[in-house]
Structure 1
Amino acid sequence: MKAFVSVLSLLLVLMTAQSARAQVTPVPATTPGYTEGPISSITLQPDGSVVMTVIGVTVTVPVGTPVRSPSRSLTLRQLALRTRLPGRSQPGFIGGTALVNGVVDVAAGTFTATDMVVEPAENVLIGVVTQASPLCILNSEIVPGTDARIPFSMVNQFGFAITAPTIPLGTNAAAEGYYASGKFQTFLLELTGDFPLVNPNSQINIIRAQCRERGPSTQRGDEVTMRGFYHARNGGLPEIQIFRVDGLVETLLGNATPIPDATLPKFGVWNFRIDTPLTAAPVLGTAPVKLRVVMVAPDGSRASAAIEPDLTPN
């Protein structure tokens, strides 16, 4: 009897194992991957693609892969260029940092980039101007970038490009860039104050846009949140409308709320939040993948900006 029970137990174990194997989900051919860290090599290939090494990982970068420095989009040739960036001793972006989204081939164990950001380093300086010439923030010398791979820009506290022939001591300032050769090599300088605009016309920007999928769309609308700044060239409170963009079709979502700045009333902040209308429509029932803001100032001048929002699943 014991032998019979043992055989039954063994058969049960085998049947259970076979059933479990039958229910195992097949291993996918690819899976998402991510790597972030120092770059030790970048090599341009004859076909125009790039192979690079990031924290010991070989990363293949196909032609057409979106690549950005902190302040612009890069071609793969610019990514691989070995000309030294200002103040640095290493070639190009070697020794800098890469943040790479990609796809892993599970069987081969290879990693292919789908988009990437590269930078020499990530340094930030916030304080006040302590010297005008050479420009210093908290006594650290600021050198505007001159390399086309990381172009320099200067903006006011609202994010609009400015010129600054003179910068008063004590001006609140913030700089982004990298510290090299004893100087702060800067690609973005933000100054607080009433500085001349590069573009004096009405302008609007988007500093944040988020969408949250909250379906089913017949019962709950999707959440859309946006924020930005505006400039109305002749002052007054502008009308600001938000549209979702689906291909060539734009659908009005609603009006944003503008709040003028107390000190510089031609400038201001705008905010927008809405739950999209309930619908059974297949396109409008999904969270927006592109948003456009359109401003009409009291003098009739117009400005617009568009963005692909950050999408958060339900």
Structure 2
Amino acid sequence: MRSFRRILAVVDPTSDMHSGVRKAAGLAKVYQAELTLFASCYYSYLTDIAIDHESAAESFSDATLKDVELRLEKLAESLRATGLNVSCNAEWHRSRHGSILEAAGRLGADLIVKDTHYHTAISRALFTNTDWSLIRESKIPLWLVKKNEDFSKKPRIIVAVDLAQQQDAVSSMDEFLLQAGQELTRALHGRLYAFHAFDLMPMLGSAATWAVKPKRLPLEELRSELRTGRAEALDVLAGGQGISAEYRLLKAGSIVDTLPGTAIEIDASLLVIGAIGSAGTSPQRIGSTAEAVLDHVPCDLLILRPPGGH
């Protein structure tokens, strides 16, 4: 992961809380990056109005955009006073996540920073959600902000690695994530942790499916063997990145059950997690781990794809 040079901060014009802008500004200062404040606006009921009153709908959308642009400029002024290079952009667009991705591509952004808030299961099931869509579709790093804090406090950064599979893509992704974590840690003067969770239950379920005759399995022996194997793999991977043993976190259980508690335990500021897909992969499957923990971890999330990843 190279240094960030152009950062796109997504602004909610209806909110007075701008923790995402604050975080993006802090990153822009650290990396001496250009910062763009971006807002996407759209009111679906104007589609019905436009059928009979097209000019009225256009006037309303123009007035709304001007108001949003003024709000962005007000935010930008205070940031420029600190020496940052800040520009503003507001658009009228039917798809919020689509407009964010288009703006990021048009501006050549190498990082998107956005506030995220708690999502209930029902809201996810019933409504299109910008966060989920960005996780699945963004090809550039996506920083979802949960903690309203700056970088005056040295951040504790967790990188979640997947040691369960031996495919080259997974191994390469683990190394890429740890390298990115190291770069962030150096830039932000933080502390880096390598995290891995191993879960015996899915493996037992798979074995039971293929068993000709049911048999009693030596659970403790299997669990011990699995822990030993994963500990060795984590030592090799994290040790190769210079992460000392005390900062290698190995937990028994699913990542959804163990990662949030670990983040609370060490007072983590940021979780770095990977999204990996291939040609033909369903967008719903890309970033599935990030989606599963998004609501539960108390810290920011940085979702990365490896160079050339889809």
* Structure-1-length-normalised TM-score: 0.25
Larger RCO, structures 1/2 (Cα 8 Å, 6+ apart): 2
Larger Rg: 1
Structure number having the greater helix percentage: 2
Structure number having the greater strand percentage: 1
